[in-house]
Amino acid sequence: MTDCIFCKIAAGEIPAQKVYEDEQVVAFKDLSPKAPVHVLIVPKKHVQSVAHFQAEDKELAAHIFVDVVPKLAADLGVAEGGFRIVLNTGDDGGQTVHHLHVHLLGGRKMTWPPG
């Protein structure tokens, strides 16, 4: 999508510190990390948020959560100690970039409830 920053990162038009890439997704370090490990997993296809997933996206959603999240958590060294997955969705959910992204945060003890 034009003027979408994560579409541009996915297309390589804007630089990012990529930690993983395959045909369907790219993962890169968050510009403003909130934990020692903070990466964003982003589908290359522009999907606005999880609220905008369509039936055709089932394979993509499964790929993200079944294949990519566990692999990245292991590669980044947080699988054993634990980590947090966050999907801010819409304005009340705190979503600021309107291209679906999964935050993977770890490397410190997380608190609850979220702000």
Catalytic sites, residue numbers: 101
Position 84: which residue type? R
CB of 38 to ligand 5GP, least distance (A): 7
Give the total of residues touching Zn ion (CB under 5 A).
6
Cα–Cα distance, 53 to 9 (Å, whole number): 21
Residue with tokens 């296809």: 45
Q: What residues make contact with ligand 5GP under the rule CB under 6 A?
A: 5, 16, 28-32, 40, 88, 94-97
99 binds Zn ion, rule: CB under 5 A: yes
CB of 58 to ligand 5GP, least distance (A): 23
Pairing of strands 25-29, 102-106: unpaired
Cα–Cα distance, 108 to 50 (Å, whole number): 26
Cα–Cα distance, 71 to 91 (Å, whole number): 30
CB of 37 to ligand 5GP, least distance (A): 13
101 binds Zn ion, rule: CB under 5 A: no
Q: Name the site residues for Zn ion (rule: CB under 5 A).
A: 1, 4, 6-7, 46, 99
